[in-house]
Structure 1
Amino acid sequence: MKSQLAFFKGLSLKNTKTGKLLQTKTGTPFQVIANKEIADHIRSWRFIVLIVLIVLTFVASMYVSLSNIKSVVNNTNDPDHLFLYLKLLTTTDNAVPPFHVFLNFLGPLLGIALGFDAINAEQNSGTLTRIMAQPVYRDNLLLAKFTGGLTVVSTLFITLTLLMVGGGLILTGVRLEPQEMLRILAFIAMTVVYVGFWLSLSILLSVRFRQAATSALTAIGIWIFFTVFYQVVVNLVVRAFLPDANLLSQDEIISYNEIILNILRIAPSQLYTDATTTLLMPSVRSLGPITMEQMAGAIPSPLPFKESLLIVWPQVSGLLAATVACFSLSYYLFMRREIRS
């Protein structure tokens, strides 16, 4: 009750003559709602549980990486063996997956948990009508819900990255190269965009459905479908329509594989996997099938950061476009929605 009173006191007032919003000491209505959302996320038990899970997976991945980092760095057959801090995020002993693989699994849960009841919980509790009675625009409310969750996610992953870099500096004493820092920052940005897509999708479902349980189950069902069943469905459909591989030439096999990969990249998890693999492994030169003629004369060496970014730019733009599309649809539905007490 006290938080709701503080929230309504923090909202800005409207000038009765000009009709413009007047900014108070606490900030604009967007800032007030965003700050309230950040505070609510930090204090909620579901967020604390997910944070504990992500931190535990981070600690487990870093422990496994540091235990095997010496053998990995001394492996001269690996063109990426000199990138110590990138190896901390990708090295595994096949007992515990690397950290970016864990994030591919836990990131959607974090985004869904932050947004599945963003709107319908406010309406069911009766606070949405009170908020709309204040001088607050609907787009400010929706944007503040999204910004608050994304701010919490960004802070979390930046903190974990700083812990990883600091722990590596203390335990190994190896200097962090500028290219490694750029790749790690790009990895953080890609992870935030990936979680932001699931956050915008969960907000869309919270606008579409009145019950929070329905929006949560729908979001989890979509996540399970794209994570587990989508690849199985694609493989079954491809096997049903694909001609016999013995009757195809090499160029036809490559073209069919490219079509399959493009269909699989409809899944957000596949886009995230492609992008993070390329960013954290500088020796990756292509995300699709290539012929032996294309590999002839190629020297296995790390690519510059700019070249790796150009390779993954379609994946980045795809996730950004999906995020904007989900948020735009939720904005359209929310603006046309009738809100009653």
Structure 2
Amino acid sequence: MVRKEVGDHVRSWRFAILMGIILLACIGSVYSAVTALRGGSGDEQGAAFLQMFTLSDGTLPNFIAFVSFLGPLMGIALGFDAVNTERSKGTLSRLISQPIYRDDFLKAKFVSTLLVITAAIFSLGFLVMGLGLIVIGYPPTSEEFLRVLLFLLTAVVYIGFWLNLSILFSVRFRQATTSALAGLAVWIFFSVFYGMILNLIAKGTAPSAESGASDVMGYQKLMLALNRLSPSELFNEANTTLLMPSVRSLGPLTMEQVVGALPSPLPLGQSLLLVWPQLTGMLSATMICFGLSYLLFMRQEIRSRS
């Protein structure tokens, strides 16, 4: 079942169009990063290879921004009709009547689509690394290579969340258009309206000028916690830390913590410890969506079309 679903995805026009759009965006981000590097915009010593993913000359967003924007669209587009289309065509009852477990159908839909997404993301990542080798002229260190691999794995987890969310809507709603609109609505909410809501909350709860340091720190931690309810914020924090070794903290710091800190880059192990909560949050959200999809699908009644 997984092999068949992978073949259907790869041969579909939907996947070809998505890959074309993402490939063009990837080439544009690489060109922007190369222009910035040649213009001397890099600000980290010895990390020029990683800056292929983080730098931009201002004309186009960097590679992380493109993945953060187009990744959810890819997950939603490949999963919004995973179940309800099979139901509307009448093929779901035929599949379930075969000597296979019912949950194997749902797991095959998820695993096959995630394999396709993984292959696409890693192909684009290795393409950027190959172009970086040509432009920079020297290979990355082992730590830089591991940081890029972890970034690509984080991108797969992030897109996997939106894939599971779209599969959940595909199980819940009978019409493919409804599940697609529901997935897009959630994506637009976190991309546009959630920031507006946070601005209103920040304006209403901002401490006064006479507030003490503890009140200011409490306010900053509250806003940071609310901001991290957005999957895109977790993804951006994780990848910024992985691809920029100079990032030493993701929260507010006091003057006592800043004074005396060495300006050296963090090793890979310390960066992983710093972003472990973000990675755990994305994995937990993905597992929750898959668990809800599994629960709803196993309780639904499947009838043959007359």
What TM-score, normalized to structure 1?
A: 0.87
2:161 paired with 1:197:
yes
> 2: CA distance between counterparts of 1:303 and 1:320?
24
| Map of 2:172 onto structure 1 | 208
TM-superposed CA distance for 1:106, in Å, is 0.4
> 2: CA distance between counterparts of 1:132 and 1:340?
10
TM-superposed CA distance for 1:45, in Å, is 1.6
TM-superposed CA distance for 1:322, in Å, is 0.3
State how 1:162-181 maps to structure 2 within 5 Å.
162-181=126-145
Greater length-normalized contact order (CA 8 Å, ≥ 6 residues apart): 2
2:16 paired with 1:48:
yes
> 2: CA distance between counterparts of 1:301 and 1:140?
49
TM-superposed CA distance for 1:243, in Å, is 5.1
Residue pair 2:49, 2:136 contacting (<8 A) in 1 also: no
Residue pair 2:207, 2:219 contacting (<8 A) in 1 also: no
Q: Which deviates more, 90-99 or 163-172?
A: 163-172
Residue pair 2:32, 2:58 contacting (<8 A) in 1 also: no
Give CA deviations for 1:31-61 in whole Å, capped at 9, x if unaligned: xx11111111112222211111110011011
TM-superposed CA distance for 1:170, in Å, is 2.6
Task: Give the partner amino acid of 1:278.
Answer: T
Task: Give the partner amino acid of 1:182.
Answer: L
Q: Which deviates more, 227-236 or 199-208?
A: 227-236
2:220 paired with 1:266:
no
| Map of 2:151 onto structure 1 | 187
State how 1:82-121 maps to structure 2 within 5 Å.
82-121=46-85
> 2: CA distance between counterparts of 1:235 and 1:245?
16
Judged with a 3 Å threshold, the aligned counterparts in structure 2 of structure 1 residues 56 and 243 are, in CA distance, closer, same or farther, namely: closer
Task: Give the partner amino acid of 1:171.
Answer: V
TM-superposed CA distance for 1:99, in Å, is 0.5
Task: Give the partner amino acid of 2:195.
Answer: Q
> 1: CA distance between counterparts of 2:36 and 2:203?
40
| Map of 1:70 onto structure 2 | 38
| Map of 2:209 onto structure 1 | 246
Specify every segment of 5 or more residues in structure 1 that has no aligned partner in the other structure, as ranges. Answer: 1-32
Task: Give the partner amino acid of 1:64.
Answer: S
Residue pair 2:206, 2:219 contacting (<8 A) in 1 also: no
| Map of 1:289 onto structure 2 | 252
TM-superposed CA distance for 1:111, in Å, is 0.3
> 2: CA distance between counterparts of 1:204 and 1:132?
19
TM-superposed CA distance for 1:293, in Å, is 1.9
TM-superposed CA distance for 1:71, in Å, is 3.9
> 1: CA distance between counterparts of 2:73 and 2:206?
39
Aligned length: 304
> 2: CA distance between counterparts of 1:286 and 1:89?
20
What TM-score, normalized to structure 2?
A: 0.96
Q: Which deviates more, 163-172 or 131-140?
A: 163-172
2:266 paired with 1:334:
no
Greater Rg over alpha carbons, structure: 1
Residue pair 1:117, 1:212 contacting (<8 A) in 2 also: yes
| Map of 1:275 onto structure 2 | 238
Task: Give the partner amino acid of 1:250.
Answer: A
Give identity over the alignment, percent: 49
